[in-house]
A and B are shown apart, each in its own frame.
Chain A
Amino acid sequence: MATEAQVKALQAALQEVLDDLGNTSKIDTSDADELARRIAYGLRYAKARAPNPARDARADAAIKAATGKP
């Protein structure tokens, strides 16, 4: 079970990905697994369209901290 801080970190990571993609969608979930999936999905495009290794590392760290999954 992710802590509130971990969920906020995930939401921040997802928002960063969305911003880089120019995606203006509102983040409508606080489910850690779903946030992690959406970050992973978004990174597929963000890595190609807006490369940013630091962002990628932050996103991976947030996912690992919240879900335990690499």
Chain B
Amino acid sequence: MAAAYSTSGAAGDDAGGTTRDSPSLVIPAGAVVYAFVNGSDGSPAAPTGVSLDPTGTPQAFTKIGDSGTFATYAYATLWVLKNASAVTAVVRATWAGSQGERMVTVWVGTGIDTTTPNGTVVTATGTSQSVSATVTSVSGQLCVQFAGHLYTGAAARTYNTPSGTERTDAVISGIPYDGAASQDKTAAGTSTAMTWSLSANIDAWYSFAFALNDAGGGGAPSIADYGGADRRHRPGRGPLSFGRWYVRERKDQGLTISAFFSAIAESAGISDSQGATPTFTQGVTETAGATDSQTAAFTATQGRLESAGISEVQAGSLTAGAGAVETAAATDSSTATLGGLTAEQLETAGISDGQTAALAATQDRTESSALTDSQAASMVSNAQLTESAAITEGQTGALTAAATISESGALTDVQAETTAATATITETVVTTDTQAGAGAGAFNAGTIEAGGISDTQSVTAAFVSTIIESSALSDVSQALAAMVAAAVESGGITDSAQGAGAATASVIELGALTDSSSATLEGVNDFFAAALEVAGISDASQVSAVMSATVTETVTFADQSAAIRNFYLDMVEVAAISEGSSATLTVLIIRPARITFSLAVRSIGFQLN
């Protein structure tokens, strides 16, 4: 088997301490792990040890490279762990005394000889921006290089233009005195130069580089006369294929024969800290028990029956294309994602604190969910949805459907409910303090709404067809009703309240205005047909009415009132005007026989056109 890169990671900081961890990495069984540890301090030192999974089952590394102090304050070491056990964990470097800046760079490979994983480790150092090391190799060998630097100017430096494939390139967090990079490159000959160009000047850099020995090869491959095998399939360099049979000769172990077939049956018991990813294309029956800290990913395209018991801090991802029956019990901090179900789905979910459940289906769905604190439920369906939701504090309920909806919702403090639908809706909403109920303007027909609205509330209702609305508005409330067809509205408006009603067809409106109220009834663009208005106007009130068609109006003006009236056609007006009042009546088309004034007035500005 040929050596191959698997994973890598790097991390460091300037916080000072006696340990430093790499990022958590997934280490395959049998892998060879290299750790490059660099850093700086007033009194720089090498780590006393490096281990994988230090808080679980530690696997100790062996030091294979040591720079000694360089650039006055810097130090770098290289460590290897052969034949690692599978684990997802950090690599930790430990020092005897505190080191100011510490950094760990890890490179993991598979298919590497676990007895003698690498050739001679070549070291190099310099103060220029060109980082270079030359490895003795054989064509085809994978070569690895690490380099680290110190720059006491406290500015970040990056490793540019790698000669191979760069895997990591990082500086420590905090003040970026130190940085490191790793790369690998497949040798093309007996000498492999590995280089970088640093982005700017540094105090000094230090590098380790080496060639990897392939697993099964026992070192650099040698060419042997073997049954007509070509160079590519020569022993020690890879399998020789005879149909489904693969033959490999190892120089150190003799002949090894492996057979691979199709039609795989598999039963997997997965224990701690393992990861298993079985993938099949058809006819799979699987039973999996996954325990702590494990991840199980199962994918199948059809004919699947699955039962999963998922416990704490696990993630279960279950995907099926059709005909799926699924039962998931998700507990604290679990996440259950049930997706990709296209039809005929029955689902039951028991969801508790801190959980999120996302349920998606395209049709014929029945769902029942009880949501508690801090939860969010997102339910989307394209058709025939029946839903009952009780929503409490801090929750948001978003219900969207394309067709028939029946809904009943009770909203409490600082909640918001948004309902949108395109067809028949029956809705009852009770909104209280500092709430907002928005009908979202998406009711196309047959809407009946009843709302009790109190302090500092706002209700916006927009409809495109028959509407009946009854609202009682109080202090600084505002009601906006816009309608394009037959509207009937009844409003009692008090201090500072404002009622604006606009409609394009038959409107009947009753309004009682009190102190400081203002009612604006504008029919210029809004009342095109018969309007009937009755207004009782008191001190300092003001009424402005403009209409373009037949109007019957009765107006009573008290002290200091002012009335401005413009009628363009067929006007009948009765005005009671008292001392101090003034009325300006402008009539564009006059039928004098139909104009009467019921009270004497001191002055009337009257203009005939």
Contact = CB atoms under 8 A, between A and B. Distances in A.
Contacts of A41: 40, 42, 73, 152, 154, 177
Given A34-B203, A38-B203, A22 B43 contact: yes
- 3 closest A-B pairs by CB: A45-B42, A37-B152, A41-B152
Given A21-B42, A23-B44, A49-B42, A42 B153 contact: no
A27 interface: yes
Contacts of B69: 23-25
A45 B328 CA distance: 56
A61 B69 CA distance: 27
B72 interface: yes
Given A21-B43, A37-B152, A37-B153, A42 B203 contact: no
A23 B152 contact: no
Contacts of B72: 14, 18, 23, 25, 27-28, 38, 42
A40 interface: yes
A45 B73 CA distance: 11
Contact of B152 (A17, A28, A40): A40
Nearest to A42: B42
B41 interface: yes
A23 B43 CA distance: 5
Contacts of A24: 69
B153 A44 contact: no
A23 B72 CA distance: 8
Nearest to A34: B203
Interface string A30-44: 000010011011101
A22 B41 CA distance: 11
Interface of B: 40-44, 69, 72-73, 100, 152-154, 177, 203
A46 interface: yes
Contacts of A38: 72-73, 152, 203
A46 B42 contact: yes
Q: Name which of A17, A24, A42 has the most chain B CB atoms within 10 A of its CB.
A: A42
Contacts of A28: 72
A25 B73 contact: yes
Interface in A9-68: 14, 17-18, 21-25, 27-28, 34, 37-38, 40-42, 44-46, 49
Contact of B100 (A18, A27, A37, A45): A45
A34 B204 CA distance: 11
Contacts of A14: 72
A41 B202 CA distance: 14
Nearest to B40: A41
Given A37-B203, A44-B100, 19 more contacts: A18-B72, A21-B42, A21-B43, A23-B44, A23-B69, A25-B69, A25-B72, A25-B73, A28-B72, A34-B203, A37-B153, A38-B72, A38-B203, A41-B73, A41-B154, A42-B72, A42-B73, A45-B42, A46-B42
6 contacts: A23-B72, A24-B69, A34-B203, A37-B153, A38-B203, A45-B41
Nearest to B203: A34
Contacts of A37: 152-153, 203
Nearest to A36: B152
A25 B72 CA distance: 5
Contacts of A49: 42-43
Nearest to A43: B42
A37 B154 CA distance: 9
A45 B43 CA distance: 9
A31 B43 CA distance: 22
A23 B177 CA distance: 18
Contacts of B154: 41
A13 to B, nearest CB: 13
Contacts of B40: 41
A17 B177 CA distance: 18
A4 B42 CA distance: 26
Nearest to B175: A44
B205 to A, nearest CB: 14
